[in-house]
């Protein structure tokens, strides 16, 4: 299932509706129950699950007619659930680059962007083995929004992510993976080969070479 369809299903659920309400302003159980026509206990049960998933937290308290009530708000991690304009903007930018520049120039631009994004991450890769370099690469991909697994074999370390951080554009612009390759090379100091799956449900696959 694509990220977009999964998000649609979440926001159609009661927990998703609670998240949408809390994005606007912190609210009490009573306020959420009234807005959703649910019982207070039903709302509390959903809030427990959202807190467990790291999406909601207690924000403070609000004085009501009966007694002070706890208010809830979204955590910073919950923002990943909401659609962002960056996908539309990035897709439009890549379309213009492909139209105005040669393929080599587009590739150089993407790789330089990847190296720029690598700044601020550890670049101390000297005397590190494949597994340590893979762990460094995995951390970067996870910061970008990937869900990463690591495998090692005779030809190097393999970094895979079923959640592509550039999924919104990679189907139409598969060359954008060059950006991630350059980023990982800059961070790890290793050679990186891109072996990603492009399509409706793109999956990341980068191999860190042992040489």
Chain segment 98-122, per-residue pLDDT in tens: 999 999 999 999 999 999 988 866 5
The rounded distance, in Å, linking the Cα atoms of 149 and 128 is 19
Residue 127: Cβ within 10 Å count: 7
Using the 3D structure, point to which of 29, 53, 81 is the last residue of a domain.
81
Q: Is the pLDDT of residue 206 over 60?
A: yes
**Mean of the per-residue pLDDT values of the chain:** 83
Using the 3D structure, point to which of 54, 81, 108 is the last residue of a domain.
81
Based on the fold, state whether residues 97 and 199 are members of the same structural domain.
Answer: yes
Based on the fold, state whether residues 38 and 131 are members of the same structural domain.
Answer: no
Q: Can you give the pTM of this predicted structure?
A: 0.60
Q: Are 152 and 130 in contact (CB under 8 A)?
A: yes
pLDDT confidence bin for 210, thresholds 50/70/90: low
Q: Which helix (H) or strand (E) holds 21?
A: helix 14-24
User: What distances in angstroms separate CA 40 from CA 47, 72, 78, 98, one per listed residue?
Assistant: 10, 14, 22, 54
List the domain range (segments joined by +) for residue 149. 86-208
Name the DSSP class of 203: B
Based on the fold, state whether residues 44 and 131 are members of the same structural domain.
Answer: no
Residue 134: Cβ within 10 Å count: 26
Q: Is the pLDDT of residue 67 over 90?
A: no
Name the DSSP class of 197: B
The rounded distance, in Å, linking the Cα atoms of 165 and 86 is 12
Q: What number of residues does the chain have?
A: 211
């Amino acid at each position: 299932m694509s990220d977009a369809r999964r998000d649609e299903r979440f926001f159609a659920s009661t927990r998703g509706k609670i998240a949408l309400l809390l994005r606007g302003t912190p609210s009490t159980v009573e306020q959420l129950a009234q807005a959703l026509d649910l019982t207070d206990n039903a709302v509390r049960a959903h809030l427990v699950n959202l807190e467990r998933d790291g999406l909601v937290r207690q924000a403070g308290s609000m004085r009501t007619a009966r007694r002070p009530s706890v208010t809830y708000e979204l955590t910073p991690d919950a923002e990943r659930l909401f659609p962002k304009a960056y996908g539309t903007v990035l897709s439009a930018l890549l379309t213009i680059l492909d139209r105005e520049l040669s393929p080599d120039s587009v590739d150089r631009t993407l790789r330089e962007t990847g190296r720029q994004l690598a700044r601020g991450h550890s670049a101390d890769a000297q005397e590190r083995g494949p597994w340590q370099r893979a762990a460094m690469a995995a951390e970067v991909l996870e910061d970008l929004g990937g869900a990463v697994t690591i495998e090692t074999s005779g030809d190097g370390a393999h970094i895979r992510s079923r959640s592509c951080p550039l999924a919104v554009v990679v189907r139409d612009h598969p060359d954008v993976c060059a950006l991630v390759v350059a980023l990982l090379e800059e961070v790890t100091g290793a050679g990186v080969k891109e072996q990603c799956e492009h399509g409706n449900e793109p999956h990341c696959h980068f191999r860190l070479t042992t040489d």
